[in-house]
Amino acid sequence: MAALKVFLHNAMVEKGWRKVDLARATGWTNTMVERALDPRYQSKVPALEKALHKLGKVVVGRTVDI
């Protein structure tokens, strides 16, 4: 979960987006954006995926043998 939040933050920096830009793109309130970026708040994965998608990113998961 923390990694997705870091990816979201990094994507926002990369695009030059502020929190208000993310709120407009996703239709979220300011509180929802704050929670999405808060590492202590347990966000839902689909919500973070939606936000990342608005920033032109896609979440891809996989496992790797070690």
At 50 the pLDDT is: 97
Q: What is the distance between the alpha carbons of residues 19 and 37, in angstroms, rounded to a whole number?
A: 9
| CA proximity to 55, closest of 27, 20, 14 | 14
**What length is written for the chain?**
66
Band (pLDDT 50/70/90 cuts) for residue 43 is: very high
pTM summary value: 0.89
The per-residue pLDDT for range 6-16, each reduced to its tens digit, is 999 999 999 99
Collapsing DSSP states into helix, strand and coil, what is residue 47? Answer: helix
Summary mean pLDDT of the chain: 96
